[in-house]
Structure 1
Amino acid sequence: MAAHLLRLRIALIVGALRGRQRVRMASGAALILAGAVLACAGLAAIANAAAPTAFVVTVIAGSAMTVGFAVAALLSRSDDPVDPRRFALFDFRAREVAVGAGLAGAVSVPVLGATIVAVGAVVFWSGRGVPWPVTVLSALLVVVTCVLLARVCFGAAALLLRERRSRELTGILLLALVVFVVPTAVFVFSLQWRGAVPAPLVAAARVLGETPFGAAWALPALFASGDAAGGWLSLVIALATPVVLGALWYAVTVRLLTTTERPTRAGRSELGWFLVAPSTPGGAIAARSLVYWRRDSRYLMSLVAVPVAAVLCVIPLLVANVPFADAVLLPVPVIALFLGWMPHNDVAYDATAVWIHFAADVRGFSDRIGRLVPVLLIGLPALGVLIPVAMVLHGHWSTLPMMIGLCAALYLSGLGLSSISSALAPYPVTLPGDSPLRQPERVGVAAVVSPALVLLGALACAVPVLAWSWAAWQGDAVAADYALWGGIGIGLAVLVGGVAGGSAVFERRRSRLMEFAESL
């Protein structure tokens, strides 16, 4: 059976390259193989690097590749070509199906790419004096772990996520990957390979080396360094991981063979964000807000204005002969401040539909949380990418803790204060469908005071973090830690307090907000 499934799998791959989607399939395969070749080239580039550098790069990058197999299986919207349920009508035992489908699943372009990278790691570590049995064993364990992990995640997705998989869910998971992968990649590629690797990064690599994702990758480095205790621990974990994943794959196969696939209800695939969001009032508001942020030109214009304002803040500093390496740090906190400020008048933008909230007696907490979801999905990945890029341009990663703390304080404080402002003092904005550059007449002081108070309030909340950041800039390492954890703590406290206060204001001012919505 296994040989027959292997032939079928190869025939499916060849047929896909000949079908209507051959260009897309060929392009995807080429990108995967090109990435594998580039990874091998990266290993060659650090062939003479210090042992800690080689350990950090191989373990972190290898762990990311292993996790990528799991994420890709969960993200995939296409059906698994070797889904065990395809063989439910035949008289095959679960063990035969598990073995055959597992072997057939190993025949794929991503697995070929992982094999190329694993072979490159074998050459890399062999050149550094690691015995070839250790490097070959490491490579085999890496490939087997990736294959079984993908099989288990494909089966889990078929059982649990079939009705929830969509472009929107894929987008959320990709944004989550951006937050973690891009900063790591930027940091690794910005390292000076002849210098010392920061101790926290070495510690993070050691932790990954004792997990199922990085244990197999860490084996050669640990044995090369003479760390017997760490090497044997990683060896045990690396050997146990395929065993555990194999048992899980067998259990998933049995489950798939003995359950009936739930039919997909017509039209569910067209629900978009409403399919992904939780079936709660807050989830429905979040889904509707996400649709607005994606399609409404007023929101898009606000997003475009944020980086423009950040860049304009740098120009006066450069004119005043401030070094570029220092001036480049300013745009990221400015972007964090404006991203937190953006939803301060969200009720006015949503006024044509806010009456639904009142008619359905939606709690203020659900309304406040739902409106913040789009800004969180935009802001967190954006800051996760921009902060490491700013560190690279600045040239000193020692400023990273204070930058994270400052941005967290400005961003989260802005969101908290915006939650209060949008319910307490909304003001007229451009109507849906009109040009976002056209502004209506505004009577009263709310249009001036409300946005200014949110901006100034967020800056006021971040004053302690600014003081700690300045001390850290002068070389105080303790102040850098205060700036990091203090900024995160202050931001979260203001966010929680703002959501609670905004919820109370929203429920008490229902009639006033309804009058405001009808006046637009």
Structure 2
Amino acid sequence: MVRQLIRLKAKIMWNTISRQTWVLVMTILGLLYALSILSMIGAGVVFGILAGHEHIIMPMLTFAGGIFILGWWLVPAMFSGMDNTLDPKKFAPYLGPSRKFAFGLSVATGIGVPGIFSTLAFFMPAIGWAVAGQWVSAIAALLLLPLALLTAFTWASAITTWVGVRLQATSTRRDMSTAIATIIFLLVFTPLGVWINWIVQDFNPDFFIQSAEIMGWTPFGAIWGVPASLAQGNILFACLRLLIALVTYACGFWGWSHVIFGAMSGLARPVSQKAQEAIAAGRREIDPHHAQKKFAHPIAGRATSSAKVPNALPRVELWQICGLSAPTASMAARTARYWIRDARLLVTVITVPLFFFMGIMWTRLPGMSSAHGTFFIYMAPVLIGATIGASTQYDSTAFWIPVSSAIKGKHERRGRLFGSLPLNSGILVVCTLAIAFFKGLGIMETLVLLIFLMALLIDAAVVTLIIGSAWVYPVQPPGTSPMSARGTGSFMTTMLTQTATLCGSVIASLPVLVVYILSNTGVLPSWMVVLTGIIWTCLFAHLGLLWAGRIWDRRSVKVLNTIRSWPGH
């Protein structure tokens, strides 16, 4: 069974990779990049030990090995929806859960780029001990390598499946957990260059030596502490650490064997007492008085029954108070809601402050000019605007709602823009104030920067709305991780559309950009940027949305058919 599952996983992965040329090319490039990184690390380990730095390098390898296994426990669980190739639920109609089946699935987890990279990386301690002349430790590290891989894969399977089963209870819980996991991932790995720079600058060998000693007694690092204890001649400590490693794997396999039963047979969710009473009484609602509750009408100021007026109507009427027509207000209310509810859009919102953080920190790194940080700051509003214009794709097949309701294009396009502005512009204002605080900008300088960034955001959004009225590119289907590549085929179409959006955004912002540059050089006064930004942005948004609406009226049905053809939508 183990061999069959490995062959099945390899076959599925190969079919997925070879189906599109660009995916195959990117996978090969990713493997080559990973091999080059491992080769450089291996060369650094060998030459470092030969240069007499064994007392530093080997503890660093022990510490890194423990972090690697811990990463296998945490990262797959955070993105449980990214790789479900051998989801146990898919096998439920064909066989029952068993320990043999659980073992086979855990071994098959290593089939793929992460598994290959981990296997090669786990050879590093054995190579290091061999170069250092510690042959007993090198043989021990080599013999314990399968146990290290099984520990990583088994715990990854158990935790990922356990989390995944419970996240399927409600779509809201699943989407929010995915958004939080993606945000944590971005916060940790996006500024990786900053973290590495800080480690290199403040490198302390004693810290890694002490950390490796502690790591050697943890469940995810004990297996790497065995060769270290043998190198020190401490047989008792080596045996104790080996016992910890064996118990860790045994607990992981025991947990995985029990989790797989729940994953394949489902979890019992008892009916609440109130629901049972409602069923016995033949009621459709648990609380029959809830539908009769009154609420104040936001415009007329009178009480209205929620049975006659939907709960979503007050949000629409709030937009109508701002002067929007009913169709535009309904689209704006719907768009504003999904910027919070959709994990894929929410991650983009949270990514924006990260760009500003990178802009601030990048200028503080040695050898980096302010231009590096400015690039991140100016790219943030363009990214938001491009996502606003691409919200049609994120609607997926729910795009049929505005199409079938015969809403005019100008109302649909305006609703998407206006509904996206409160949240995104609010975040942009907060980030701009943070930039002003760290750079010590005055009130006028802060206002000029804010107007310029808002102009970039709105111009990029309008350009993307124009392009998105006729051409769309595939995105992740609803319910998937924002980090997943599922459903995102047609790489060439995506690249061309995004390139056209970026170039169009720059061209559309040229009047404001030119005045902003001349203002920074002292040729024009600062108030010219404010005046030009407001007038040009309002004029371009009005004319651009009218144009986008006309295109939408002609092409909306074709766009809907295109979205329906995407996998998973």
Structure 2 length normalisation: TM-score?
0.48
Aligned counterpart for 1:145 among listed residues 128, 147, 151: 151
Name the CA shift for 1:198/1:121 in 2 (closer, same or farther; >3 Å): closer
Q: Note the alpha carbon deviations across 1:4-45, whole angstroms, 9 max, x for none.
A: 223322322333343223223333333334433333333223
Alignment partner, residue 66 of structure 1: 69
The answer to whether the 8 A contact 2:106-2:150 is kept is no
Name the CA shift for 1:94/1:46 in 2 (closer, same or farther; >3 Å): same
Q: Does 1:255 align with 2:262?
A: yes
SS in 2 for 1:93: coil
Q: Which amino acid aligns with 2:42?
A: C
Q: Does 1:98 align with 2:102?
A: yes
The answer to whether the 8 A contact 2:80-2:164 is kept is no
Structure-to-structure mapping, 1:172-321, within 5 angstroms? 172-178=183-189, 185-186=196-197, 198-227=205-234, 230-259=237-266, 271=338, 274-276=341-343, 290=350, 293=352, 306=360, 310=363
Q: Does 1:88 align with 2:92?
A: yes
TM-fit CA distance, 1:103: 2.6
Alignment partner, residue 520 of structure 2: none
The answer to whether the 8 A contact 1:80-1:154 is kept is no
CA distance in 2 between counterparts of 1:152 and 1:40 reads 31
5+ residue gaps, structure 1, are: 278-283, 312-326, 343-351, 358-366, 380-410, 443-520
TM-fit CA distance, 1:142: 1.9
Name the CA shift for 1:354/1:182 in 2 (closer, same or farther; >3 Å): closer
Name the CA shift for 1:135/1:330 in 2 (closer, same or farther; >3 Å): closer
Alignment partner, residue 472 of structure 2: none
SS in 2 for 1:211: coil
5+ residue gaps, structure 2, are: 169-173, 270-333, 381-417, 460-508, 517-525, 529-569
Alignment partner, residue 125 of structure 2: 121
SS in 1 for 2:84: coil
Name the CA shift for 1:186/1:229 in 2 (closer, same or farther; >3 Å): farther
Q: Which amino acid aligns with 2:67?
A: A
Structure-to-structure mapping, 1:347-386, within 5 angstroms? none
TM-fit CA distance, 1:53: 0.3
CA distance in 1 between counterparts of 2:348 and 2:15 reads 41
TM-fit CA distance, 1:84: 0.8
Name the CA shift for 1:157/1:130 in 2 (closer, same or farther; >3 Å): same
CA distance in 1 between counterparts of 2:14 and 2:368 reads 52
Q: Which amino acid aligns with 2:342?
A: L
Alignment partner, residue 135 of structure 1: 141
CA distance in 1 between counterparts of 2:80 and 2:232 reads 39
TM-fit CA distance, 1:107: 3.0
Name the CA shift for 1:10/1:181 in 2 (closer, same or farther; >3 Å): same
TM-fit CA distance, 1:289: 5.6
TM-fit CA distance, 1:158: 2.5
CA distance in 2 between counterparts of 1:149 and 1:373 reads 43
Name the CA shift for 1:224/1:271 in 2 (closer, same or farther; >3 Å): farther
TM-fit CA distance, 1:177: 3.0
CA distance in 2 between counterparts of 1:271 and 1:211 reads 43
CA distance in 2 between counterparts of 1:106 and 1:288 reads 31
Name the CA shift for 1:161/1:19 in 2 (closer, same or farther; >3 Å): same
Q: Which amino acid aligns with 1:36?
A: L
TM-fit CA distance, 1:243: 1.2
CA distance in 1 between counterparts of 2:99 and 2:43 reads 40
Q: Percent identity?
A: 18
The answer to whether the 8 A contact 1:219-1:235 is kept is yes
Q: Note the alpha carbon deviations across 1:318-342, whole angstroms, 9 max, x for none.
A: xxxxxxxxx949999xx9xxx9xx9
CA distance in 1 between counterparts of 2:177 and 2:128 reads 40
Alignment partner, residue 7 of structure 1: 7
TM-fit CA distance, 1:214: 1.9
Alignment partner, residue 56 of structure 2: 53
CA distance in 1 between counterparts of 2:190 and 2:258 reads 33
Q: Note the alpha carbon deviations across 1:141-171, whole angstroms, 9 max, x for none.
A: 3222222133224313422456328985564
Name the CA shift for 1:106/1:288 in 2 (closer, same or farther; >3 Å): closer
CA distance in 1 between counterparts of 2:167 and 2:160 reads 10
CA distance in 1 between counterparts of 2:242 and 2:143 reads 10
TM-fit CA distance, 1:82: 1.3
Q: Note the alpha carbon deviations across 1:165-199, whole angstroms, 9 max, x for none.
A: 8985564233343389656655676799xxxx532
CA distance in 2 between counterparts of 1:77 and 1:374 reads 32
Name the CA shift for 1:70/1:120 in 2 (closer, same or farther; >3 Å): same
Aligned counterpart for 1:164 among listed residues 148, 152, 175: 175
The answer to whether the 8 A contact 2:97-2:260 is kept is no
Q: Note the alpha carbon deviations across 1:294-325, whole angstroms, 9 max, x for none.
A: 8xxxx98x7897579x57xxxxxxxxxxxxxx
Q: Which moved more, 1:123-132 or 1:428-437?
A: 428-437
The answer to whether the 8 A contact 1:36-1:114 is kept is no
Alignment partner, residue 19 of structure 1: 19
The answer to whether the 8 A contact 2:360-2:435 is kept is no
The answer to whether the 8 A contact 1:85-1:257 is kept is yes
SS in 1 for 2:266: coil
Alignment partner, residue 508 of structure 1: none
CA distance in 1 between counterparts of 2:191 and 2:350 reads 23
Cα-Cα RMSD: 5.4
Q: Which amino acid aligns with 1:2?
A: V
CA distance in 2 between counterparts of 1:241 and 1:223 reads 20
Q: Which amino acid aligns with 1:142?
A: A
CA distance in 2 between counterparts of 1:237 and 1:104 reads 24
Q: Note the alpha carbon deviations across 1:396-449, whole angstroms, 9 max, x for none.
A: xxxxxxxxxxxxxxx89969x99xx9xxx9x9956653756568859xxxxxxx
The answer to whether the 8 A contact 2:62-2:125 is kept is no
TM-fit CA distance, 1:224: 0.8
The answer to whether the 8 A contact 1:289-1:374 is kept is no
The answer to whether the 8 A contact 1:70-1:153 is kept is yes
Q: Note the alpha carbon deviations across 1:61-117, whole angstroms, 9 max, x for none.
A: 223322333344233653421111111112323323312212322333322332222
Aligned residues: 347
Name the CA shift for 1:78/1:13 in 2 (closer, same or farther; >3 Å): same
Alignment partner, residue 495 of structure 2: none
Alignment partner, residue 361 of structure 1: none
CA distance in 2 between counterparts of 1:209 and 1:176 reads 28
Q: Which amino acid aligns with 1:22?
A: L
CA distance in 1 between counterparts of 2:9 and 2:123 reads 24
Name the CA shift for 1:138/1:95 in 2 (closer, same or farther; >3 Å): closer
CA distance in 2 between counterparts of 1:71 and 1:106 reads 15
The answer to whether the 8 A contact 1:84-1:97 is kept is no
Name the CA shift for 1:354/1:115 in 2 (closer, same or farther; >3 Å): closer
CA distance in 2 between counterparts of 1:100 and 1:304 reads 43
Alignment partner, residue 40 of structure 2: 38
TM-fit CA distance, 1:229: 5.9
Structure-to-structure mapping, 1:388-467, within 5 angstroms? 429=451, 433=458
CA distance in 1 between counterparts of 2:420 and 2:108 reads 53
Alignment partner, residue 383 of structure 1: none
